[in-house]
Amino acid sequence: MARTVSKDNGEANVPAGRISRLASMTRIAAGVAGGMMAEGARQLRDGNRPRLKDMLLTPQNAQRISSELAKLRGAAMKLGQMLSMDAGDVIPKELADILARLRSDARTMPRAQINRVLVKAYGKEWRTKFTHFSYQPLAAASIGQVHQAETLSGEQIVLKIQYPGVRRSIGSDIDNVAILLRMSGLIPRNIDLGPLLEEAKAQLHDEADYLTEARYLSAFGKALGKDKRFVVPRLYKELTTDSILAMGFADGSPIESIANLDQVERDRVVGNLIELMLHELFTLNMVQTDANFANYRYQHETGKVVLLDFGATRRFTPDFVAKYRNLIKAILTDDEGQIITAAENVGYVINGVHPVYRQLLIDIFGLIGEVLRAEEPYTIKGARLSARMTEKTLAMKDYRDDWRAPPIDAIFFHRKFAGLFLLASRVDAHVFMRPLLEAVL
């Protein structure tokens, strides 16, 4: 999950040591606590009875949390990004709004720190491997930043350079963020975040191993090599290490730029991405689960979509894929009993909860069914699908004692699903899901 950076973007050393990263977490906690005390005192002076949530969620505290996590980068920032993408499912919207700042607040490494990473990976004479290397990053994210370079043979490539200390800090960073989340009081005590946090650690360890991402890059390149709709950058294996990923430079415009094209092209591009997602799950059993817009580029001259960042790729077991296929089939039949049975087989808890909460869950599957069952292209933006979905998830807040963690695999896949629906809404594309689903089911 990366963002492009401007030349005047602020630089900041990435804290690489365990003690320095812990100190940053301590500053967050101390700053938030001080801010809460000040806000509580202010409300008392105004004759109000301060509430914990109101004291925590001040603009100043939001800035403190997001600013410090942005300086840390690594797992702390990545977890904040992951959680903020699942507002309504994992954390309350108020906290998600704070963490959402992290999706666009990455700092960049100063030149001296970049040099140290390159020396460690390639040796002191690393410059002899390139005819040109740009210190100005093309993009910066939570785990690394991207730089353009030119090989000795004149090929244009990019180097994805990992921030120092990220890999060894994953476990402690996530544990410390979890403590902050618990301290906030916004997450009900009965909710067990343990499985999600452990899964986040495993996923982040994979993302932080660029040799693993290189294998996924190669796998997608092979799987989509003959598909003329997409471009997968070439892997430069000889320049790739566990902390630097080297691949071909594939230019393109932001995917959101298709909003300026005609309806037919918008529909085609988004439809192709949705078809690819279904192919990933039901055929490859391997899904790039991060549908952040920055991971797609559109080539106006060819009409192709460049696919970037395979670090968040996840393999799904045949058992999950089979159960999820049955859930899709049940949704297409619009039979409530079949939908409940199939959803519980996937891992959702629908029965044995408050009747109102149960109905809200069923209503959410119903909203998804609107799109999947439509007999003609569906306008997500015009149907206010995201707003109606948010209304249901916000209503669930009144029944937090009934909340159960969604199945981990479903969380990751729905992250991709929701991201593509958000793209369809952003560019006002019409999606025709039913024939795409029937082709893979």
Q: Among this protein's residues, is 290 annotated catalytic?
A: yes
The confidence score (pLDDT) of residue 122 equals 96
333 against 169, higher pLDDT: 333
* Token pair listed for 285: 């059993």
Q: pLDDT tens, 393-435? A: 878 877 777 777 778 899 889 889 988 998 999 999 999 999 9
CA proximity to 151, closest of 238, 211, 216: 238
Average pLDDT value over all residues in the chain: 80
Distance CA 360, CA 89 (A): 13
The confidence score (pLDDT) of residue 441 equals 84
From the candidates 89, 173, 290, 409, give the one annotated as an active-site residue: 290
Q: What is the mean pLDDT of residues 146-151?
A: 96
DSSP string for residues in 131-154: EEE-SS-SEEESSEEEEEEEETT-
CA proximity to 82, closest of 202, 259, 218: 202
Q: How far, CA to CA in Å, does 90 sit from each of 79, 196, 212, 222? A: 12, 9, 27, 35
Residue 86's pLDDT band (cuts 50, 70, 90): very low
Contact present, 372 and 328 (Cβ < 8 Å): yes
- State whether residue 384 is helix, strand or coil: coil
Residue 104's pLDDT band (cuts 50, 70, 90): very low
